[in-house]
Amino acid sequence: MRQLLCLLALLSVSACASAPPASGPPSARSDAPLAAVGFNLDHLDFLGEDVVHEGDTLRLVHIYAEAPDWRFVGDDDEGIACVDDAARAAVVYLRHYERTGDERSRRQAAKLLRFVRHLQAESGLFYNFVWDRDLRINTEHANSVADSVSWWTARAVWALGEGARVLAEADPAEAAAAAAAVRRVEPHLDRLLARYPAVADENGRPFPQWLIAGTAADATSELLLGLVALQEAEPTDDGARRVRRFAEGLSPLRFGDLGTFPYGGHASWTGGWHGWGNSQTQALAEAARLGLAGPEALASAEAEAQSLYARLLVEGWLHNLDYATGDAQTFEQIAYDVRPAAVGLVRLFEATGDERYAVMAGLAASWFHGANPAGVTMADPATGRGYDGILAPDRTNPNAGAESTIEAQFALLEVAAHPEAAAWAWAAPEPPRTLRWDGRTVRARTFSGPALAVVVLDPEAGASHVFTGPEADRFLASAAPSP
């Protein structure tokens, strides 16, 4: 089965593309596994710019590029570039270098890491924005200050941890500088962890109190990605403790189940779940794979995949679930909603070897190629542009800024690593259906790819199912429309 999927992914992917206006994949080249899923770094390269500062070359990433001429646009209150984007771009280039040995990506990553380190305050925390190409730091805006462990500090740690891991042999000096920068953040992390194991009731739900901002599980998940990478590169007892305790804070934060709101997803914060930045499954699966977190971490990641992620594949993508109102917000949909799920599913496949997670990862990535409410391409394989969002079934944001481009390319890069996932990146979905199967009412969605895939929500059994090939055919033959 795996060999068949791989062969079909590389030779017949164009047959799996969504109907227009989504575009088909480029023809296979020597980088066929990456090209086959539409991965392309051209626009991310375009968004970046090298700048010389105090005799050293750093690289910034312009925040916004507006259609139709892709001119750069800054923010009058924030600046032209930020750690948030540079850090995530560095992760993409580092992973690309690790996958391919591409020296250009290694150099791009190193320059981006230098930009990130330039924004580190004397305290060890990070500022976020620079005003201009002279790299003047915005020290005052609320989204830039270095006064706490923030989103941008978490993302800086993620990139620097990956830099320490990936560059250890190829660029020891850069790897050492990255690790040293993370070490300067550790006292602030230990102040968060001083609240361990306190738990407080937050609107009827128990929340650990030792996460970023007390209960920000979303930001903490991206911090954990960096701590896991650093621990892999430079293991220490304190590093292991930090990973374990942050994982212990994230693992229990799941509420509801497959059929009950909020559907078993990891809480982003006390107010609910949102797709963007909610990287808990990705971080927990990676920590578990490396033996840095207990079995409850992997169990929690699998539970989210089998409940909320399965639901998203069947019922359609969501942006937000509001705990107070019980409302589900469908729009806007952005690349940053999809990447945590797609890459989280890849990490689950790597941690467990369970092929259904690889199939789900590829199906999630098909959102970029037209399997979305607007039926449009959100990651252009010809240019590498990641478009900035779907606002409604008939309205999209045509701009292609840093976040959308980075998150799209990151998802596609990771899905391409496994033929079992890559085979489904261009799958075309049918509308979901309510069926009777095995004496129960289920919701199912069929995807056309190298074969048929069916994702099934089976709430009466408390389970979801992923069937492919002959198994999918047998399911469809045995199921009947629900009266």
Predicted confidence at residue 33, as pLDDT, reads 86
Predicted confidence at residue 59, as pLDDT, reads 98
* All structural domains of the chain with their residue ranges: 31-429, 430-482
Instruction: Count other C-beta atoms under 10 Å from residue 315's C-beta.
Output: 16
Predicted confidence at residue 30, as pLDDT, reads 39
Q: Residue 71, exposed/middle/buried by CB under 10 A (0-12, 13-18, 19+)?
A: exposed
What would the pLDDT profile of 154-181 be if each residue is shown by its tens digit? 999 999 999 999 999 999 999 999 999 9
Say whether pLDDT at 184 is over 80: yes
What would the pLDDT profile of 261-302 be if each residue is shown by its tens digit? 999 999 999 999 999 999 999 999 999 999 999 999 999 999
Predicted confidence at residue 428, as pLDDT, reads 98
**Buried (b) or exposed (e) across 171-190, using 16+ Cβ within 10 A?**
beebbebbbebbbbbbebbe
Place of tokens 């259906």: 433
Predicted confidence at residue 26, as pLDDT, reads 36
Predicted confidence at residue 458, as pLDDT, reads 98
Q: What are the tokens at 252?
A: 């229990």
Q: What is this structure's pTM? A: 0.93
* Rounded average pLDDT over 310-317: 98
Write the CATH number of the domain with boundaries 31-429. 1.50.10.10
Predicted confidence at residue 126, as pLDDT, reads 98
* Rounded average pLDDT over 245-258: 97
* Rounded average pLDDT over 386-398: 97
* Rounded average pLDDT over 29-47: 87
* Rounded average pLDDT over 32-36: 87
* Rounded average pLDDT over 378-384: 98
* Rounded average pLDDT over 57-70: 97
Predicted confidence at residue 329, as pLDDT, reads 97
Q: Of 7 and 235, which is predicted with more confidence?
A: 235
d(CA 26, CA 32) in angstroms, rounded, equals: 9
Say whether pLDDT at 221 is over 70: yes
Mean pLDDT for all residues in the chain = 93
Residue 20 pLDDT grade (very low, low, confident, very high; cuts 50, 70, 90):
very low
* Rounded average pLDDT over 218-225: 98
What would the pLDDT profile of 335-365 be if each residue is shown by its tens digit? 999 999 999 999 999 999 999 999 999 999 9
What would the pLDDT profile of 81-90 be if each residue is shown by its tens digit? 999 999 999 9
Residue 7 pLDDT grade (very low, low, confident, very high; cuts 50, 70, 90):
very low
